[in-house]
Structure 1
Amino acid sequence: MSAFLAPIHFMVYGKNQLQEQLIAAIADKAVAEGWAAANDVEGYVRRESQPLDAVIDLANIHGWLSANIEDVEHRLAALVTELLFGHPERQEVLEAVAYDEGKKQEADEGLEAGEAFQYLMTHLVDGMPCDGVNMMRDQSADTFRWDKMADVHSRYWTEVEGSPAVYKALRDKFTAGMLDKSGYEVYSSNDVNYVLQKKEMTA
């Protein structure tokens, strides 16, 4: 079966699975904190451990992956929005969960900025590769700049009457966890133009 699939398809599925793990970690935290019963949150979770070639529809590879992205994005938005309804103070706890999940995928030290960017792009859900969401502007050994050409996330949050800003906060924490050991950080002043660069060392 795998002969019909390209490495990029496995990469997309792998990114989706990481977001599945984040959803599961958030659900587990909600139960542990007493915010919800296990039965109430389990419907948001897909604990799928099978490899891509065991679950995908080979007659519709692109369509299956696209639907998989939409499903995982929608469930993250719905679960988090449900947990935060009337309890905005919980967001800080969920951000900590996102950071810890990012740490589990920590990038190595010694990467150049372009390598660190590519590492992020193989771990963060940003639509299908053909969507062309991220466009490089320039790079050096210690800095990588790019533009987000489309917002492929907000609609999932507005559809469930949630806040896209919450998604950004969770994603930022997940990213920070991944980059913690690498010495890099990502920032943006407008959610369009992004910079990844070495952290400033403090005395």
Structure 2
Amino acid sequence: MSLFLGKIHYWLFDKILWFEGLEDEIIKLAQKEGLNIDEIKNEIDLKYGENTQNKNLEEIIDTSNIHGWLQSKINSSEGRVASWTKVMLENDKNNLVKLANVYIYQGIKAAKEVKSSQNLLNAKDIYNSLNDYILDGMPCDRVNEVIISQDDIVEWKKRICVHKDIWEKEGMDVEVFYDLRNLWIKAFVNEVNGDFEYIQKNETEYCISERK
């Protein structure tokens, strides 16, 4: 394993940090709902480890096992989000709507960050930018396969699911995660360029296309 950090490692770490930002917003929501977040957080952190607290990658990564370290951070981050989601829904099933609003807000926030530095003029631009934020395992997992890549439409299919085991470990249906993340993506695409829309065609195929 290489002892040197490359651009792809920083790229993946930034995606982990964004997912941890989502976790932070869910914790804030849990606090508003009156839950004992300190006690719950201690239990979750004992199980999955604490988040990275937005430290510099070079200060915390195990350079003797870069791939393994990043994989473990992905798993622990998603495990914590699955745990917090379960806590929220067990407290009140109606919290699903509030969780949905958190995902939508985070999608808009990401899009505004993108728009502050660049203009995404076509579907390929939007798809590539989307993947700077969406956490879908490691690049070597090759979760998504692009079927069509044109300026007016990008269509892709999900080859494998890297989330199911993590969410089922918490007794959660992974479809809860996918439904919430679809709201994130839809909000992101709508905000970053209103001339395009995100469509889930079926359980494994998705597209970003120019509005008719």
Please report the TM-score for the alignment, with normalisation by the length of structure 2: 0.86
The question of 1:38 aligning with 2:26 is answered no
Q: Separation in 2 of the partners of 1:82 and 1:32?
A: 13
Contact 2:120/2:126 (8 A) holds in 1? no
Q: Separation in 1 of the partners of 2:120 and 2:70?
A: 33
How far residue 27 of structure 1 moved from its aligned partner, in angstroms, is 0.6
Counterparts in 2 of 1:174 and 1:40: CA distance versus 1, 3 Å: farther
1:27-75 Cα distance to aligned partner (Å, 9 max, x none): 11110132x1231343346261211111100010000001111111111
Give percent identity, aligned residues only.
27
Q: Separation in 2 of the partners of 1:79 and 1:41?
A: 8
Counterparts in 2 of 1:41 and 1:101: CA distance versus 1, 3 Å: farther
Runs (4 or more) in structure 1 with deviation over 4 Å come to: none
Residue aligning to 2:200 = 188
Residue aligning to 2:23 = 23
Contact 1:24/1:47 (8 A) holds in 2? no
Residue aligning to 2:67 = 62
Give the total of aligned pairs.
Answer: 197
Q: Separation in 2 of the partners of 1:49 and 1:165?
A: 29
Secondary structure in structure 1 of the residue aligned to 2:18:
helix
Secondary structure in structure 2 of the residue aligned to 1:78:
helix
Secondary structure in structure 2 of the residue aligned to 1:5:
coil
Secondary structure in structure 2 of the residue aligned to 1:4:
coil
Q: Which residue of 144, 165, 170 corresponds with 1:160?
A: 170
Q: Separation in 2 of the partners of 1:47 and 1:69?
A: 11
One-letter code aligned to 1:5: L
Counterparts in 2 of 1:138 and 1:189: CA distance versus 1, 3 Å: closer
Q: Separation in 2 of the partners of 1:110 and 1:161?
A: 39
Residue aligning to 1:4 = 4
Residue aligning to 1:80 = 85
Q: Separation in 2 of the partners of 1:79 and 1:118?
A: 29
How far residue 187 of structure 1 moved from its aligned partner, in angstroms, is 1.9
Secondary structure in structure 1 of the residue aligned to 2:65:
helix
Q: What RMSD, in angstroms, separates the aligned Cα atoms of the two structures?
A: 1.7
Please report the TM-score for the alignment, with normalisation by the length of structure 1: 0.90
Is there any run of 5+ residues in structure 1 with no aligned partner, and where? none
